[in-house]
Amino acid sequence: MSSRLDAEYADPTPLRVRIDTHERYSEKPHDPGGEVLTALALSGGEYLADVGCGDARFLARLVAYGHRGPLLGIDTSPAMVAAAQAVPGVRGVRADARHIPFDDNTFDVLTARHMLYHVPDPAAALHEFRRTTKPGGTVAVVVNHAETCPHISELVDAHAASYGIEPGAAPPRTVDSETLPRLMSDIFGSVHVQRCDNALVFDNPAPLIRFAEAIFGCRGIERDHPDRDAILADLSADVEDWFGHHRGRTWRDPKGYVVATALVAE
């Protein structure tokens, strides 16, 4: 993984802000973790690996549900691995999705939620998912639509550009909801895809500004950039101005994702 990605996830706070914003400000109920669990129909005894486990709230949810099988959180970020280790009964391992340090046919279930587009070679990661999952086991992958929250992204990019940070500074997305099904079918064969369309809706500036700041790292604005505070101040003023000139209106930004599941051939 890139040093930029490592820096982005060194502090779990922006990720938590993004997740919390989606939970609180989505137009329709937003629960990708629940969608994954529905697709998997777990018995509770599976050995499950969550690759790109983030702040480990998905694994914590499984523990709360009484999952009895081994649970493993894999991430490149030490902070995220530590979050997994902090969940009782969960083991955290620092590793790259393209080089999972486990034997062939280890896991009953492997999940990779909202992480595959960070991998420079998603096909290599999918081959690793297949290699480490047992025959008859299930791999579940979640990725966003290519045009997720485009208005907020454009706003952040425009303010970053005014300080010399070009949009190209953001890491390129390697896979999205349109390209994932074909990529997975090439590796696994049959793939079941569930599409979830939604939008973020804000009726006041504060949560929108908070979310915009939480995607700074994703858009190439590094935490230690000397103009970061100035970019945030300019963006905040712009958002405040928008709501001031559009009283009674909401800011709506389309988004969505797919949950793609595949069985590993016997």
Q: What is the pLDDT of residue 4?
A: 53
Regions of the chain short of the pLDDT cut 70: 1-10, 167-172
As given in the structure block, the two tokens for residue 132 are 């480490």
Which of 219, 125, 127, 142 minimizes the C-alpha distance to 177? 142
As given in the structure block, the two tokens for residue 235 are 């963006």
Total number of domains in the chain = 1
- Total residues found in the chain within this entry: 266
Q: What is the pLDDT of residue 12?
A: 77
Q: What is the pTM of this model?
A: 0.89
Q: What is the pLDDT of residue 21?
A: 97
CATH code for the domain in which residue 14 is found? 3.40.50.150
The 10s digit of each residue's pLDDT in 188-204 is 999 999 999 999 999 99
Q: CA triplet 76, 81, 84: central angle to 5 degrees?
A: 140
Q: What is the pLDDT of residue 173?
A: 72
11 alpha-carbon distance from chain centroid: 15
Q: What is the pLDDT of residue 167?
A: 67
Q: What is the pLDDT of residue 187?
A: 96
Outline where DSSP puts E strands in 117-191: 133-144
Which of 11, 2, 1, 51 minimizes the C-alpha distance to 216? 11
Sheet of 90-94, strand order: 90-94, 71-75, 48-51, 107-113, 133-144, 251-263, 192-202
Q: Which residues are CB-neighbours of 2 under 8 A, at least 6 positions away? A: 120, 171
Q: What is the pLDDT of residue 1?
A: 46
Residue-number span of the structural domain to which 49 is assigned: 5-264
